[in-house]
Amino acid sequence: MGLVVAVNPAVSLCCRTLCENLEDLTLAFAVTAHKLFLELLRDDDRKVLLEQMRKRSATVNLSAKPLPSFYDIPASASVNIGQLEQQLILSLDPRRIRQILIELHGMAERPFWRVNSKWEVPPDYVNVVLAIKDNLTRDLVYILMAKGLHCISIKDFGHARQLFSAGLELVTEFSPKLRQVMLNEMLLLDLRAHETMAAEGSKERPPPDLVSRVRGYLEMRIHDVPLRQVIGEESVAFMLNWRENDYLTLQVPPSLLMSNPYIKLGQLLASTCKELPGPKESRRTAKELWDVVVQICSVSVQHKRSSDGRLGLIRQRDSSLGIMQRIVRVRPCRPFSFSFSVVVRLRMIMIISTS
């Protein structure tokens, strides 16, 4: 038979007073989590104690300049760090995530962004996020971004928008660089959401605001903001799909064309579709288009001198996979046909070379 401990009012009051007088909030959480301690507390004393600890834990601040609409949320006490970590993994509510993190940091000081190994932030952003000095803010920014990106990948655009909006609000006051990162990821979110609707049969044109944001991204010249290549690729595919050929042909900054071959490919496809040039210009455009496709498709490049003395290229057989992921995002027939034609030509050259 198990030992039954009677709840004595005097003992219960003594236990409650003991926890109330503990200055170390982490120690107070540890004491209240003990099974025997819980058995010695009466229900009314337990409620009073939890309410007082809730008020104490709510005094933990995320930064020196809190944003009232996101920060003015009372944190509730909890007695089990493992349960809180599980809730942190499952929750998609930004306010609840912040509340859980406040409680966890009241119990232990460790990087809670590592709780789930599946939380991933793009390598381009990791150093910027982990450079945040406040531990609680760092955890919150990392987790909001990782969860938002996961929601985009599974096309849960509603939750993704909530998570990134909270992240944008959080970083606006202390990091212009992270603010721009959040805005860029929200652009990717809106591009994916709109293209998903188009793939499902929607004929609605994108709102002017979205087109303007895509142009703003392609023309952005903020040098210290890390840029993800995929956002540039999605932006160009979006402009091709909605036949913004004049813009892609004439207005994309040369620096971006030089740094990202996918954007250069988009510009060449747009210029090819915009007008069919004469024979001389056609040969030049075709050569440029071909060179860019070869550059993208090249996983590894080795030079080999053939019997006639010319240098040839040996490329891995799976090298065309890199561009195929991007081509399938392009819907109009003409640019898709051009892209597919040059990939087929590349494939035939590879087959002939290997044979």
pLDDT for position 65: 40
Asked whether 169 and 67 are in contact (CB, 8 A), the reply is: yes
pLDDT grade for 204, boundaries at 50, 70 and 90: confident
Average pLDDT over residues 304-318: 42
**Of the ranges 87-101, 145-159, 181-195, 246-260, which one carries the lowest mean pLDDT score?**
246-260
For residue 114, the tally of other CB atoms under 10 A from its CB is 10
Q: Specify the residue for token string 């990392």.
A: 142
Query: What's the CA gap between 238 and 242, in Å, rounded?
Result: 6
Judge whether residue 313 has pLDDT over 50: no
Q: Is the dihedral of CA 28, 32, 35, 37 positive or negative?
A: positive
Residue with the bigger pLDDT between 158 and 333: it is 158
pLDDT for position 188: 96
Asked whether 160 and 188 are in contact (CB, 8 A), the reply is: no
Instruction: For residue 303, give the H/E element and its range.
Output: strand 302-305
For residue 229, the tally of other CB atoms under 10 A from its CB is 14
31-55 in b/e burial notation, b at 16+ Cβ within 10 A? Answer: ebeeeebeebbbeebbeebbeebee
Average model confidence (pLDDT) across the chain:
75
Note the pLDDT tens digit of each residue in 10-35: 777 777 777 777 766 666 666 666 66
| 134: three-class secondary structure by DSSP | coil
**Percentage of residues of the chain with pLDDT beyond 90:** 33
112 DSSP assignment: G
Model pTM?
A: 0.62
Torsion angle, CA of 230/233/235/238, rounded to 10 degrees?
Answer: -120
Note the pLDDT tens digit of each residue in 257-297: 887 777 888 887 777 766 555 555 555 665 666 566 666 65
Asked whether 88 and 100 are in contact (CB, 8 A), the reply is: yes
pLDDT for position 180: 95
